[in-house]
Structure formats: C-alpha cells, structure tokens
C-alpha cells in the first residue's frame, strides 16, 4: 500500500463506523466532523504537492483553515465534555581483522559498580495532585479502557490527552507509531505545532521524508529489502516552559489502542539543565541511547529539514541537544532498543536487541546469581516462530550472562537443548470469545496455524493471557522475570521468589524499582515496550565468541527496571498471576485468520 493510499485509508477510517453504538454527542458532531475532514483532506492534498528534497518551504494550510480548525476543535471538545463527561481519548563483506573486544571486557564496569543502586528512586502508581500533573520520578500505568471491570480497575491510568497535556503549551514533538490514524492523532496537537512523525516505510524499505500535514514531517527508517517493521511507540514532547516529557508505550497512534484494548505507558518529565553540557560521544546513558535510536530512525534528516524551512527556532538544533540541554539524572530505568540490520562485533551487538537487554541487566546490577534461575513470563500480541536454540539464546541474555560461552558451543549442541523456563502468554480462543468485545476485539492479536502445528513448536510453554482488569484483551508487551532456586522444579504454578517485603503494607500501590546491591535478594525485573517475544523483535545471534553477529528485523523500543518484592511483581504484571497453563487437549490460541466473525466483516 502506497503512502497516498495509507493517507486516504486513514481519513476513511476516521470517517467510518467505529463499531460502537452512537451517542447523542456523536450525532450532534456529525456535520461539523465531516466539514473538518473535508478541510483536513484539502490541507493534505496541498501538503502532498510539496517536496522535501528541495529547501523550499512545505505547503501550509491557509489562515482561514487554521482559524476554522481551531474554532471547530474548541467547540467539539466542549460538546464532548458536556455530553460524555470525559475526554474524547478515553474511548481512545567478510569481517576484517580487528581487536578482540569481548563482552566481558566491555561489561566489566557494569559488573563492578552498583551506581544505579545508590541513586535509584521508586516509580509509583500514585498520581500527583493538580490538574496538570508532572512526573519527575517517572510513572508506569495502564491505559484507560472503556471495557474494563470497574471493580478491578482501581489504579490510576493514562489517557492520551493526559499524556500530551495542553496542546497550546507544546512547542515541538517527535512521535512514532507502526499503525497510524493520522487525522485522529492530528487533533491532539495545535495545527501550528511542528511535529516529526516516525512511521513504517513503504514496500521498498528506503528512508524517506515527506510533508503529510501542515507543519508535520513524516520520516521513515531503512529496512533491508523492505522486510520488518518500524514498531517503536515513543513520544518526545517539548513544552514552551522548557520541560521535556519522554514517553515509551505499547500503544499505536490509533483510537482503538487507547479505548478498546489494554496497553501500558511509561513516561517521565525531564527538566532543563541550568547550563548545557558538552556533547560526550562515549556516553552510554539513557539520553545517549535515545540519541542513537533517533539517528537510526532518520530523525536527524527530518529535523534538519524543519530547521532549514519553516521552523528555525525549534528547541533543539540537533539530536545531541537532547542530552546536552536536559537533565536526565533522575531517570532510573534503562532504555533497551532493537535497531533493524546486521550488527557485528561486541561493541555493536551489546547496544541492541536481546544483547542490549543483557547489558541493561548488568548495568542495573541484575545479573542472576549463580544459585538462582530466571523464570520469564512473556506477554505480547504476536507469536513468533521459536526454536530451542533461539529460546535458550534469549534466556542467556535474560540471565545477564555473556553470550561468549554460548557461541563457543557447537550449533548441534545448541539446537538440542531443552526449553528454558519461559512462559509464553497469549490469549486462548476461549479467552477471546469470553472478552467484552469477543472475537471482534481480537484483530490485533496474531498467531498462525502453521506456527502452532509445527512439529517442534513449544506448545507446552503457552499460558493464557488474562488482564487483571477484567474482560479486555491486552496489546501490552511485557516481560516479567523472577528468580528462583535452581533446584526448584519449573511448573505452571510457580510463584515468584518469596522475599521479604520489608515495611511495605498490603494495600500499598507504590512499586519500588530499586535494583540489587549484591547483598540482598530481589524478586526480579520487568521489561515494558514495543517488543513482542519474537526473534524478529529481539534479534538472532550467530558468529563466534570472537566476532558475534546479531541480525534484527524490526525497530523496537522499551524500558527495563528491577523489582524489589514479590508484591511488586504482581502489581507490575498486567495479567492475572499465576497464569493458567494451556490444557493441550482442549485449549487453542486465538487465531484471527480462522475467525468466522472477523471474516464476515
């Protein structure tokens, strides 16, 4: 599908039936919404006439369009509040000879320092007071959902409108999404706000730049042979006050991800430094990792274009400015990214994919002790094609162990290992049918019959995915790792390590994400982000201990942080624990390709 077709489809989707009953507010808004969409389409067509290969300014909407759009939006929001009593987003070449730098050498500092433990602070579920809350210590929440069981939905949630805040206060934004409803997300920003939108490339997989809306530039990264996806979900929101909000989520920029299915969001507000610091090309901290991600996503080209055309006064002049001008010292999570492509040699492979996860765990002091095993619970919306080799390869990284010993083993030995202690969480057919939206709500969950019926597929590792908040389906991508004694059998009813909860009370909603200091046991760690539990997302390792190679298909992004207690594990996990193991005599995973309900639409 071409970009133009994508655009037309997005507009059509925004005008089409949402599949939910209409309300009085919807009826009243129909005429004005149609006019807005016509105006929006006119602006889109004007924007398409421009080209980013020239320094000329992009096409912009006429002043009358902007004025009319502002008045229309204001009136619409007022009606939504009056009729619904809530915000609208609620619903919504051969290798050259080189020096041998081993992973052990490169990670020695992470193993011998516990700097993170000395400066860590909690990420809380408690919401700050005030109409426009700030989250200077970071916040992890589920998204608001109109179908949850209200008796179980007891913790604070995020709506997209709350995350973005007052649109008039935003000076610049960088956002990304795999699936996209452009007219819908456009409404969350002022028409005059410059926005860089990172999206999925077309079939060629080439980098590209394009004006898609007034003041909006769409950029796409490179994908080899057009294979894979730009699957990251991120936001960098720059406010006129100087504050920067960093958002990493599991939700796409489509209305149903924010209304009908469950997703998870982490965000943190970052203050301006009193004085900018010099660029450090050797930095490996959170903002340095983000800088690497943005460069890979072709954001630098989009930023340069904006600065040379209509927006010379953006809050950043280069991607490096993000780390130099803002103070990230209070960020206590570690960024984990997958960058599509072939990564060769230790310095490269430990920066991305599951090897990047391994490094992050070492940075956090969370390498599994020798006497402990790591049990993984992996929740996602897409099932991969698994082998015992890949599963053990991933588990090696999840323990925080270097892959040197793993790569020194013969391929034959690696391919005959038993399955590691991993639970794959994916909704069963029964769970989907019993959910509030039934099979109609399962359109974003993917498992194929040829996967499930594969002779060596790990069916015995599958567990049912059921939300803690009732009959909603989860689009959340999350891994929860818990530690257990190595001599403890791995069963489907295995609970996390029973550790001392300290002074924490039974009713506390605060989840401490303080890492290990090597003197005290912790329950484990968690990952939240765009990675599904698949080789495409996390990468596949090959090569040798001297020269490792990591091939990754997708662009992905998430965060990882430690969990102090067993109670913290249960609070962070979005699913009911312990997850029920599939009864292979009667349970099947949800396979949307076989749904007669979806086929009938």
Catalogue the active-site residues: 231, 475
Contact 8, 44 (CB under 8 A): no
Structure tokens given for 266 = 């982490």
Binding-site residue numbers for substrate are 233, 477
Residues belonging to the binding site are: 233, 477
For residue 183, give the H/E element and its range: helix 182-186
Q: What secondary structure letter does DSSP report for 9?
A: H
Burial 407-441 (b: 16+ CB within 10 A, else e): beeeeeebeeeeebbbbbbbbbbebbeebbbebeb
Contact 374, 361 (CB under 8 A): no
Instruction: Judge whether 569 and 484 are in contact, CB under 8 Å.
Output: no
Quickly list H helices, 429-564.
429-434, 449-452, 535-538
Q: Would residue 539 be called left, alpha or beta, if left means φ above 0 and alpha means ψ between -120 and 50 degrees?
A: left
Planar angle of CA 590, 591, 597, nearest 5 degrees: 95
- Indicate if the alpha-carbon torsion angle 589, 594, 595, 599 is positive or negative: positive
Q: What is the Cα–Cα distance from 430 to 583, expressed in whole angstroms?
A: 12
CB atoms within 10 A of CB 581: 16
Distance, in Å, from the CA atom of 107 to the CA atom of 556, rounded to the nearest integer, reads 23
């Amino acid at each position: 599908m071409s970009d133009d077709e994508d655009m037309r489809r997005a507009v059509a989707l925004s005008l089409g039936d949402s599949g939910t009953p209409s309300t009085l507010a919807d009826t009243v808004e129909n005429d004005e919404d149609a006019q807005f969409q016509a105006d929006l389409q006119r602006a889109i067509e004007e924007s398409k006439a421009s080209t980013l290969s020239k320094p000329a300014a992009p096409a912009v909407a006429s002043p009358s369009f902007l004025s009319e759009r502002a008045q229309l939006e204001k009136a619409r929001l007022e009606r939504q509040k009056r009729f619904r009593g809530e915000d609208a987003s609620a619903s919504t070449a051969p290798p050259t000879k080189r020096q041998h730098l081993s992973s052990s050498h490169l990670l020695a500092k992470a193993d011998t320092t516990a700097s993170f433990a000395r400066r860590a602070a909690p990420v809380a579920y408690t919401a700050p007071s005030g109409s426009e809350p700030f989250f200077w210590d970071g916040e992890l929440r589920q998204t608001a959902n109109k179908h949850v069981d209200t008796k179980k939905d007891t913790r604070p949630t995020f709506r997209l409108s709350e995350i973005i805040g007052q649109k008039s206060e935003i000076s610049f934004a960088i956002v990304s999404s795999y699936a996209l409803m452009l007219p819908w997300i456009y409404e969350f920003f002022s028409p005059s706000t410059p926005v860089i939108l990172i999206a999925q490339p077309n079939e060629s997989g080439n980098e590209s730049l394009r004006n898609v809306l007034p003041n909006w530039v769409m950029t796409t990264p490179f994908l080899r042979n057009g294979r894979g996806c730009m699957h990251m979900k991120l936001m960098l929101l720059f406010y006129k006050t100087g504050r920067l909000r960093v958002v990493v989520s599991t939700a796409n920029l489509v209305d149903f991800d924010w209304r009908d299915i469950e997703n998870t969001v982490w965000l943190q507000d970052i203050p301006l430094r009193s004085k900018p610091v010099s660029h450090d090309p050797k930095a490996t901290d959170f903002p340095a990792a983000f800088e690497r991600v943005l460069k890979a996503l072709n954001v630098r080209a989009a930023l340069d274009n904006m600065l040379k055309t209509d927006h010379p006064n953006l809050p950043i002049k280069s991607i490096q400015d993000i780390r130099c001008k803002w103070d990230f010292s209070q960020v206590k999570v570690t960024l984990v990214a997958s960058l599509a492509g072939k990564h060769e040699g230790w310095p490269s492979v430990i920066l991305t994919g599951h090897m990047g996860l391994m490094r992050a765990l070492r940075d956090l002091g969370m390498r599994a002790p020798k006497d402990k095993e790591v049990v993984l619970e992996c929740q996602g919306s897409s099932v991969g094609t698994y082998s015992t080799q890949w599963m053990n390869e991933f588990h090696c990284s999840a323990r925080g162990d270097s892959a040197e010993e793993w790569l020194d083993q013969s391929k034959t030995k690696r391919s005959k290992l038993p399955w590691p202690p991993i639970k794959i969480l994916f909704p069963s057919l029964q769970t989907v049918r019993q959910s509030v939206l039934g099979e109609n709500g399962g359109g974003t969950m993917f498992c194929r019959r040829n996967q499930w019926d594969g002779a060596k597929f790990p069916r015995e590792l599958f567990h049912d995915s059921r939300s803690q908040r009732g009959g909603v389906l989860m689009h959340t991508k999350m891994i929860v790792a818990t530690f257990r004694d190595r001599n403890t059998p791995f069963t489907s009813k295995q609970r996390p390590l029973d550790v001392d909860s300290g002074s924490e009370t039974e009713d506390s909603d605060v989840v401490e994400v303080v890492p290990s200091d090597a003197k005290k046991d912790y329950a484990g760690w968690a990952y939240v982000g765009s990675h599904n539990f698949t080789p495409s997302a996390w990468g596949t390792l090959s090569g040798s201990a001297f020269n490792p190679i990591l091939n990754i298909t997708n662009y992905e992004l998430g965060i990882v942080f430690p969990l102090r207690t067993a109670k913290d594990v249960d609070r962070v996990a979005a699913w009911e624990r312990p997850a029920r193991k599939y009864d292979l005599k009667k349970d099947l995973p949800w396979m949307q390709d076989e749904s007669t309900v979806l086929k009938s639409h």
